[in-house]
Structure formats: C-alpha cells, structure tokens
Amino acid sequence: MIKIFLIFILLASSSFAIAKDKPKLRWGADVESGAPYSYKSPENPDLVIGFEAEIVEALAKELGMEVEFVQNSWDGLIEGLIRGDYDIVVNGVEITADRAQVVHFSQPYYYTSESLAVRKSNTDITSLHDLKGKRVGTLDASLAQKILNQQPFQITTLGYDEEVLCYGDLILGRLDAVLLDEPIALYYAKPNVDLKLVGGPIGYMEYGIVTRFGNPEFDARIKKALDKLIQDGSIQKILERWNLWNTSTAKVWGQSPVPQTRPEAYEKYLETAWGKRTLLEKIKNYISFLPLLAKGAVMTLELSIISMALAMFLGLCAALSRLYGPAPLRWLSVTYVEVFRGTPLLIQLYLIFYGLPHVGISFDPFVAAVLGLGLNYGACEAENYRAGILSIPKSQMDASQALGMNWFQSLRHVILPQAIRVVIPPVTNDFIALLKDSSLVSVISMVELTTIYGQLASTYFDYLGLGILTACVYFVIGLPFVRLSRYFETQLTTSRSTPPKAVK
Amino acid sequence: MIVKIENLTKSFHNRLVIDGLSLDVHAGDLIALIGPSGCGKSTFLRCINGLETVDSGTAQIFDTVLSSPLEIGHKEFQRRSFAVRQKVGMVFQSFNLFPHLTILENVMKAPLVVTKMSKVDAEIRAKELLSKVGLGDKAYHYPDQLSGGQQQRAAIARALAMSPQILLYDEPTSSLDPALVNEVLLVMKQLDQEGMTQIVVTHEMRFARDVADKIVFIEQGSIVEMGSPDQIFGNPKDERTKSFLRHFL
C-alpha cells in the first residue's frame, strides 16, 4: 500500500516534462539572497528577477536553451549542483581556489569588491583599520569574512547566512559595521536612511558561473556564449540597468566606466522596496502577498498530511512490534525509535537528500521531505501509541481472550479502539509540530510556506510584518485539524453522563 | 467428568502458588472454591482456561489437555487454550466490561467477531440474554452508567453469549456493595438450576452452603479439605478448615 502511495507522490510531484523543442538550462540559486542577484518579482511572485536572472536568460538564448529555475538554500547550492539537481549555479558565487577544487568556474561575469557599512550617526569608523575591537557582521564562508579574519588586529566577526539580517542587526546596534559585497550594500544599505557606506572598495572578487566537473563540452559552450555576450555588450547593458556597472569590470573589459543606459531596474527596485507607503498601500501590499503565501501553504499542508500518514503507519508498526513482536522485531523497533527520536530532523533531512546519493540512493525533494518527516515523527508516534496501548488495563485483554478472541481480534476490537481515544491529544500535538517542522525542508530545495516568507522578507526587507502574516497563515491552516481532533475526542469519549436516546 | 485436573503446579517468581492440586468436575456441578485470600485460588481458575500457564501437571477440559508450554510448546498451548475458551466462559471480579461499547454491543461482540454470527442473530440473542439477567431495559447504556451489580450481571450475559458449557467465576461479588451482591447470586442460582457447570471462587459462604454441590477449601496452594456443603460447613475435619470457617459463621 505504501509503495503505491510513494509512487503516487513521485508522479504527482515530478515536473511535467512536456516535450519542448528547446533543451532546459537548469539554473540553481537561492532566491532568498535577494536583490540584485536573484529574487521574486514583487509584481509577479512566480517570476525570478535580478541581474543574474537576466544574465542566465541571455546565456540560455545564446545556447538555444530554455531556463528552468531551481530554488535551493545558499548552504546547499554547491551540493545540489554536484548531485545533479541543476546544471549551473549563478548566484554571486565568488571564484576562490578552495571552491575551484570541487567545482568548475567559467570566466568572470562581474568584478566587484566589498563595501563597509555603518550607522549614519557613526563617526569613528571610516576604513578597515578602524574595525579594531569592533563587532562586524558579514556573510558566512564569504570573501568578506576571510578579509576580516586576515586583519592583523582583533575583530569580532559574526557570520550570518542571510545578508539582509546583517544590516538589520547593524541598525539595531547589535553590530558596529557590516562588510559585504558592493551590490548588496548598494541595494540594502545605501537606500537606508539609518546607514551609510564608508571608505572605498575593499578587496577584490570575481563572480563566475559554476558547473560540475566532467562536462568539458558544456563548459566550453558556456565559455563561448559568455564571451560573446561580454563582447557584444549585453552583460554591460544588464549591469548598467541594475546600477552595477563599476570601474573594476570596465577596466577588465576595456570599456568606459561611465554607464550608457539608465539604471531602470535599480530605480524600480528603490520604488518598490524603499518607496514610502501609506498604511493603506502597505495593507494592499500584504494582501497582494497572500496568493503566494497560499501557494506555499498548500505545499506545507500537502507535505504535512502525507508525512503524518506515513508517520502514523510507521508508529503503529513500531509500537505493535515493540509490545507484541518476537525479540529481533522488538530490538528493531527500539533502535528505530531511539535513532530517529534522538537525532535532529534537520540532519536527517540532509542525510536523506544529500548523503544517500553518495551510496547510490537518490530521491526527489518531495519524496525525501516526506521520508524525513515521516521517519522522524513515526518515532514519536510509536511512543504515543505504545503509551496508549499500555494504558489499557491488562484485564481488558483477559476478558476478550476469555471470550474466545485471538490476539489480533482483541487488539482490533477491544484494545485499539480504547487506545485511540487516549492518544488523540498527543497525536494532534505531533501533527501541529510536524506542520511547523515542515519549514525545515527548505534546506533540501523544497519551496513551502517558510521558504516563501524568506524570499518575500528579504526582497522587501520586511521581516516583522511578513513574519506576523506568515505565522498567522500557519496558525490558520492548523486550525481545522485542531477542530477535527476535538470532534473525534468528543465522539469517542467512553463516559456518558446522560443515558442515550432509546432506539426502537 | 468434564474437567479433570491432575497434580497442577504453578510458581510465580520462584514462589510456589499452586502445589499439586487435583480436582474432578462433573457436568452440572457448582463447585465453590473457598479459602484465605492470596492462596492461589484465582490463579488456579485462570489455569483452567489458559490465561495462566501450567508449570507441571495437567488440566483436561473436555477433550483438550492443557499442560506446560515447555512440554508442548507455546504455540500449541495457545492453540489448545483457544479451543478451551470456546466452551469455557469467565466472569471477573472487576467485571472487565468493554467501556467503549454499550451493554448490548458488549454482549454481541464476541459472537460477531469469533463465531461470525450475523448481526441480526447476535442482537436477538444478546437481548434475550440481557432479559434473562434482568437488564433488558439497559441494553443501550454504557458500562459506566450501571451499578456494580448490574455490570456484573451484564458480564455474565456477555460470557453466556458464547454458549459456554462451563462458567468460571473469579470472586464475582467481592467488589460489590453488599446490597448488590444478591442480584448476582440469583443469576448464578438460576443458571445452576438450568444445568450450567460453574466453578466459583467466592467468600459468600451462605451462597456456597445453599447452592454448591461441592466445597473445596484451599490454603497455601493445596486442597486442605473437600466435600459436600453439609460435610464442610457442618462437620469440618481439618483444624485449618475449622479455624478458617470461624471467621464466617
């Protein structure tokens, strides 16, 4: 039965591969990195925009391919590429010697540096040297972090995995300065009235297109196409639209550093993300997010319901094995419960999705998500059911057996019906917990409610308002189940305080 | 003879609970097992329908012989116990009705599930039995809405639903309010008159004296004295029997 279930899931979730004339160029990126790299369009949240989105679009056109965007969180981008979930990564990935050991880089499509941002009121920090003894935020595993760590004096470096949260903490006073890539500073720090950029460009880095090893032809085609786009000025035009045309890049490509095109994309971004809005406009804005959040909510619900069904099945099997099975089955059940209950869900998800392929077992993200959630919560359910069954007095089993029922009949007709009533509250609890834990699957490139929140919040730099909205959505989608469980509880309660109506 | 128990021995955690008990039961008998609490009487009863395993000795019920699982294997012991329970019913001290079902459903459950009786037949039979024990109007009530005496009578009806030829009673009235004891004893008396074979562990001496065919006095896991009610109550031979009965009469 479970096999049919899983096959159904696989079919339902696999992308509809409608035969098209053009082959797909699968591009992996983390939309939560935000502007100006790749982020969800405020107008059409299904669309990914940004200067890199445009570069990839142009690249695909040049290669005669069609872009297929695959979301994955920043942590897992390289892993996902190596796994084969997508074929290129274009997401502000700096070309470094370390990375070049595991993946292949194209020639750079952009040259930039780091920018130092401080609060507007700050007067004592104007350059890198002034950071001595200060608290400085940056992106984890980035060049900026390296630069900070290499300074001859002591700096308290705090690594974030969300760039925009850095600036948030800077404004709040948790940090004294933030060192991040120029494009990020241009879009998130400069427009902010509470912050200012100080000092000149720091360091030097190149962004490249990342591919797996082992495809020299593909890499050669990309190189050729990118060369052409650089030569004919397409890349320059894109960069100019986004206000990213700088001296470093101009120098390498032998062009004038003065931009020829209006930075319309940058202006549009400023208007949407930083434009002053009245309360009414803000509310309208939030309402416009609801369809996107709803889409995420549907995925969250789908995931949660299917995973919970799996968990309940596994839990019942494990509980019955532990209570009534022969010694080897009992041992298996105990081991399953202890292992899956005692290790973090997040690590289990990573292992299933990123680890297993190394031994030849590869899963679709949806299947991996259901397996991870199902196995983890199955262990919790096993204990719930075991407690429920144990709470039924042994005398009930005595009575049913004395009447001639065998073990299975006793369980089915006498023990389990009573045990179900006992376990409804903890099982409901577990379902709500699973609903919330489903947010973790964003790390295995599943797009659900929390992922959408992250994307919107980073685009609009609005963690609070959107956060409250998302929390409300979670609460609302959990309500029907709470109601359902309460209904079951009252229906199945064994004590009746008033006699029932006489029938016949 | 429909039940023949020979040299039954049972220990719990190295403590001898039944010490070489032998007993014969004939069809239609009402046997009362009396004696101090905690002396193996309940355990003895539970060995007859296989709810407890036997360490040594045998319990033969009709054609089935229950002996130690170490001799015949656990699976065989289960199989034979199962066969015995089709003909032997049991009534417990704490009633053990199924709390999630109505009284009617309680009585119907075993026939429906075990003998696969049709729902219609099972319902008719259940209603008859409930009338018989005086609970005809309580069919749709739940166990927790009934008094102790009513619950025990319902338990008897439930046991009768499987048409047993022998009924075992494990202190059926010990948890009851004294005022409610009689209604249960009346049912047992009626069944005795109808020819049912009943083995009762009890402290109700007057009932034992009036209704039982044979009294068995058990102390420390073995039979001290056995005989007709007149013999045991009127002229007990053993000192231990005398001193035990002194508490009651």
Nearest residue in A to B108, CA atom: A403
ipTM, two decimals = 0.91
Same domain membership, residue A427 and residue A387: yes
Instruction: Look up the CATH number of the domain holding residue A472.
Output: 1.10.3720.10
Same domain membership, residue A378 and residue A318: yes
Q: Take residue A467 and report the two structure tokens written for it.
A: 């956060």
Nearest residue in B to A494, CA atom: B100
Residue B96 has its nearest CB partner, among A399, A417, A499, at A399
Q: What is the DSSP letter of B18?
A: E
Q: Is A332 exposed, middle or buried (0-12, 13-18, 19+ CB in 10 A)?
A: middle
Taking the CA atoms of A133, A138, A141 and A144 in sequence, report the sign of the dihedral they define.
Answer: negative
CA distance A139 to A147: 12
Tell me which residues of chain A have a C-beta less than 8 Å from any C-beta of chain B.
395-396, 398-406, 409, 413-414, 417-418, 421, 492, 494-496, 499-500, 502-503
Enclosing H/E stretch for B71? helix B69-72
CA distance A298 to A224: 42
pLDDT at A498: 42
Quick check: B110 and A503 CB within 8 A?
Answer: no
pLDDT at A112: 92
CB pairs under 8 A between A and B: 77
Ramachandran class of B163: left when φ > 0, alpha when ψ lies in -120 to 50, beta otherwise: left
CA distance B205 to B196: 20
Quick check: B114 and A405 CB within 8 A?
Answer: yes
Q: What is the DSSP letter of A351?
A: I
The pLDDT tens digits along chain A (504 residues) read: 566 666 655 655 544 444 456 888 999 998 876 789 988 877 676 788 999 999 999 999 999 999 999 988 887 889 889 888 899 999 989 898 888 999 999 999 999 999 999 998 888 888 888 888 889 999 887 888 888 888 888 889 998 877 778 888 998 889 999 999 999 899 888 888 889 998 888 888 999 999 999 889 999 999 999 999 999 999 999 999 999 998 888 889 888 888 888 899 888 888 877 777 777 877 887 888 888 888 889 999 999 999 999 999 999 999 999 999 899 999 999 999 999 999 999 999 999 988 888 888 888 889 999 999 999 999 999 999 999 999 999 999 999 999 999 999 999 999 999 998 889 889 998 999 999 999 898 888 788 888 888 878 877 777 888 899 999 999 999 899 888 888 888 877 655 544 444 444
CA distances in angstroms from A427 to A383, A460, A490, listed in the order given: 10, 38, 15
Q: Could you tell me if residue A6 is inside a domain? A: no
Three-class secondary structure assignment of B140-197: CCCHHHCCHHHHHHHHHHHHHCCCCCEEEEECCCCCCCHHHHHHHHHHHHHHHHCCCE
Nearest residue in B to A497, CA atom: B145
Same domain membership, residue A254 and residue A194: no
Same domain membership, residue A43 and residue A156: no
- Of A474, A475, A450, residue with least CA distance to A463: A450
Same domain membership, residue A451 and residue A346: yes
Same domain membership, residue A435 and residue A349: yes
Residue A500 has its nearest CB partner, among B49, B140, B161, at B140
Residues of A in contact with B97 (CB under 8 A): 399
The alpha-carbon gap from B136 to the nearest alpha carbon of chain A, in Å, equals: 12
Same domain membership, residue A482 and residue A400: yes
**Owning domain of residue A86:** 22-109+207-276
Q: Could you tell me if residue A3 is inside a domain? A: no
Q: Are A405 and A388 in contact (CB under 8 A)?
A: no
Q: What's chain A's length in residues?
A: 504
CA distance A141 to B16: 72
pLDDT at A493: 67
Quick check: B92 and A395 CB within 8 A?
Answer: yes
Which residue has 């994307």 as its token pair? A455
CA distance A340 to A371: 12
Residues of B in contact with A504 (CB under 8 A): none
- Of B191, B92, B33, residue with least CA distance to A403: B92
Q: Could you tell me if residue A365 is inside a domain? A: yes
Q: Could you tell me if residue A2 is inside a domain? A: no
Residues of B in contact with A403 (CB under 8 A): 85, 89, 109-110, 114, 158-159, 161-162
Residue B113 has its nearest CB partner, among A409, A417, A496, at A409
The alpha-carbon gap from B115 to the nearest alpha carbon of chain A, in Å, equals: 9
Quick check: B100 and A494 CB within 8 A?
Answer: yes
pLDDT at A504: 47
Q: Please, where are the H alpha helices in A126-215?
A: 143-150, 163-172, 182-184
pLDDT at A9: 59
Strands (E), A72-119: 88-89, 104-119
Residue B114 has its nearest CB partner, among A395, A403, A502, at A403
Quick check: A402 and B159 CB within 8 A?
Answer: yes
CA distance A133 to A130: 9
| Residues β-bridged to residue B215 | B32, B227
Domain boundary among A237, A256, A276: A276
Q: Take residue A502 and report the two structure tokens written for it.
A: 């006489």
Quick check: A403 and B159 CB within 8 A?
Answer: yes
Give residue B110's Cα distance to chain centre.
Answer: 18
Quick check: A396 and B86 CB within 8 A?
Answer: no
Residue B142 has pLDDT above 90, yes or no: yes
Q: Are A423 and A359 in contact (CB under 8 A)?
A: no
Work out the mean pLDDT of chain B and round it to a whole number. 90
Quick check: B158 and A403 CB within 8 A?
Answer: yes
Residue B140 has its nearest CB partner, among A396, A398, A503, at A503
CA distance B170 to B52: 13
Same domain membership, residue A379 and residue A314: yes
CA distance A313 to A49: 43
Residues of A in contact with B92 (CB under 8 A): 395, 398-399, 402
Quick check: B82 and A406 CB within 8 A?
Answer: yes
CA distance A195 to A6: 51
Enclosing H/E stretch for A241? helix A234-241
User: How many domains in chain A?
Assistant: 3
Q: Identify the structural domains of chain B with CATH numbers, from first to last.
A: 1-87+167-249 (3.40.50.300), 96-163 (no CATH)
**Phi, psi (deg, nearest 5) at residue A110:** -160, 145
Residue A502 has its nearest CB partner, among B114, B140, B158, at B140
Nearest residue in B to A419, CA atom: B100
The alpha-carbon gap from B96 to the nearest alpha carbon of chain A, in Å, equals: 6
Domain boundary among A227, A256, A276: A276
Q: What is the DSSP letter of A43?
A: S
Residue B121 has pLDDT above 50, yes or no: yes
Q: Could you tell me if residue A488 is inside a domain? A: yes
Give the Cβ contact number of residue A152 at 10 Å: 6
Residue range B155-180, pLDDT digits in tens: 999 999 999 999 999 999 888 888 88
pLDDT at A6: 66
Instruction: Look up the CATH number of the domain holding residue A69.
Output: 3.40.190.10
Same domain membership, residue A122 and residue A186: yes
Give residue A352's Cα distance to chain centre.
Answer: 16
Quick check: A398 and B51 CB within 8 A?
Answer: yes
Same domain membership, residue A365 and residue A335: yes
CA distance A245 to A475: 45
pLDDT at A355: 87
Give the Cβ contact number of residue B178 at 10 Å: 7
Residue range B62-95, pLDDT digits in tens: 989 998 888 888 889 999 999 999 999 999 999 9
Residue A403 has its nearest CB partner, among B100, B110, B141, at B110
The alpha-carbon gap from A502 to the nearest alpha carbon of chain B, in Å, equals: 7
Same domain membership, residue A186 and residue A269: no
Ramachandran class of A255: left when φ > 0, alpha when ψ lies in -120 to 50, beta otherwise: beta
Q: Could you tell me if residue A324 is inside a domain? A: yes
Q: Could you tell me if residue A441 is inside a domain? A: yes
Q: Could you tell me if residue A499 is inside a domain? A: no
Same domain membership, residue A395 and residue A287: yes
Quick check: A403 and B92 CB within 8 A?
Answer: no
pLDDT band at B45 (very low <50, low <70, confident <90, very high): very high
Domain boundary among A257, A276, A295: A276
